[in-house]
Amino acid sequence: MPSSFQEMDMALSMDNISISNEDENSMMKAMHLPCGLVLNMVLKAAIELDLFELIAKSSAQQLSSYEIASQIPTKNPNAPLVLERILRFLANQSFLTCNIAKDDDGNNQTSYSLTPLSQSLIPDKDGSSIAPFLLLTVDPVGVNSWFHLKDAILEGEIPFNKAHGMHAFEYHGKDSRFNGAVLHNWDDEYCVKVLKNCWKALPKDGKVVVIEQIQAEYPEMNLLCKHSFSMDIAMMTMVGGGKERTNQQYEALAKQDGFTTALKTVARAYYSWVMELYK
C-alpha cells in the first residue's frame, strides 16, 4: 500500500484501471447515485436545443461543438466550450459517438455522431420518437410530485394530489400534454368497469386487445423488469391507484368481467405486450 499518491505508478491511465474489490465497487456505485438526475436533465437540454436533429441533418452526419453552436440561437461566446462538455457526457452515456481526427496542422479535432440510442430521440419517418415522453417525465408538473413520495406511505396521500391540490385527471383537463387513457392509470375497480363496458359491447367471440406492460412476479435484473417496476412507482406517485400488473392480475380482472378464455399474450414491442381477451 503506497503511503502517498506520489508513490503510486504515475503511468496509470483510465484505460487500465480495474476495480476488482467488491467493497470498492459498491461504494463507487453508491457515490454515483446522486448523479442519477444528470442524464435526464442533459437529455432535456439536448432535445430542446435540437442537438440530435442537427447532427442527423448534417451532410457528414457528425458535427463538432463549434459547428453546432453556429446553428443554435446563442449569444454566449463560450457556447462551444459548454456544448463540448455536454456532448462528451452524452458520448460517455452511449447517446453519441466521439470521433477524433487530425486537422492539417496535426491537431485533434473532435466531432460527434448519433448512435442507435440517440436515433430514438429524433422523429422517424412517421414523425414519432421517445423525446416527447422523456420531456414529459422531467416536466416540473411531474417532478414536483416526487418530492411527496414518502407521503404515500406516511399519510396515504397521492403525491401528485399533494403537490398540485387536485387529482392528476383533473389536472389533465387543464393541460392536454398529460392526456391519455390506459389501464395502468387506474385502480382495479375502475379497470373492471372499463373492461365490463368493453365486454358488453362485444359480439359473441369478440375480443378486446390490451397493450400494456406486464410486471414480473419477482424483481429480476433485466431491462423489462427495471422499466416496469419504475413505471409502477411512477403510477403510484402520479395517480395513486394506477399500477403495473402481472399476467395473473390481468387474468383476474378479465375473469371478473366475464371473459371466458384465459388471457392470451400474442406479441411484445419493446416494453409493451399485446394481450387478447375473448368473450
Q: Are residues 262 and 139 in the same domain?
A: yes
Give the Cα-Cα-Cα angle 70, 76, 78 (nearest 5 degrees): 85
**Count: domains in the chain:** 2
Q: Are residues 108 and 155 in the same domain?
A: no
pLDDT of res. 5? 44
Stretch 194-221: mean pLDDT: 86
d(CA 96, CA 81): 17
In single-letter form, the type of residue at position 234 comes to A
Tell me what percent of the residues of the chain surpass a pLDDT of 70. Answer: 89
Last residue within a domain, chosen from 123, 147, 179: 123
27 lies in some domain: no
Q: Are residues 254 and 153 in the same domain?
A: yes
Stretch 254-277: mean pLDDT: 85
12 lies in some domain: no
9 lies in some domain: no
Q: Are residues 206 and 252 in the same domain?
A: yes
CA of residue 17 relative to chain centroid, distance: 30
Q: Are residues 219 and 260 in the same domain?
A: yes
- Look up 184 and say whether it is catalytic: yes
CATH number assigned to the domain comprising residue 94: 1.10.10.10
Q: Which of 25-34, 198-207, 253-262, 270-279 has the lowest mean pLDDT?
A: 253-262
7 lies in some domain: no
Q: Which position has the higher pLDDT, 11 or 117?
A: 117
Q: Are residues 201 and 235 in the same domain?
A: yes
Burial class (CB in 10 A: 0-12, 13-18, 19+), 205: exposed
128 lies in some domain: no
Last residue within a domain, chosen from 123, 143, 166: 123
Residues 227-245 pLDDT 10s: 899 989 988 898 877 889 9
Q: Which domain holds residue 51?
A: 37-123
Q: Are residues 140 and 254 in the same domain?
A: yes
Q: Which of 55, 42, 48 is closest to 119 using CA atoms?
A: 55
pTM given for the model: 0.75
Q: Are residues 151 and 227 in the same domain?
A: yes
User: Could you please report the per-residue DSSP string of 143-174?
Assistant: HHHHTTHHHHHHT---HHHHHHSS-HHHHHHH
Q: Are residues 93 and 161 in the same domain?
A: no
Question: Does 255 score more than 60 pLDDT?
Answer: yes
Q: Is the dihedral of CA 219, 222, 224, 226 positive or negative?
A: positive
User: Could you please report the per-residue DSSP string of 17-69?
Assistant: -----HHHHHHHHHHHGGGHHHHHHHHHHHHHTTHHHHHHHSTTSEE-HHHHH
Active-site annotation holder among 148, 164, 184, 227: 184
Q: Are residues 183 and 261 in the same domain?
A: yes
23 lies in some domain: no
* Three-class SS state of 276: strand
Last residue within a domain, chosen from 97, 123, 149: 123
In single-letter form, the type of residue at position 89 comes to F
CATH number assigned to the domain comprising residue 244: 3.40.50.150
Q: Are residues 143 and 258 in the same domain?
A: yes
Question: Does 13 score more than 90 pLDDT?
Answer: no
d(CA 45, CA 217): 36
Residues 45-75 pLDDT 10s: 999 999 999 999 999 999 999 999 999 999 9
Q: Are residues 90 and 178 in the same domain?
A: no
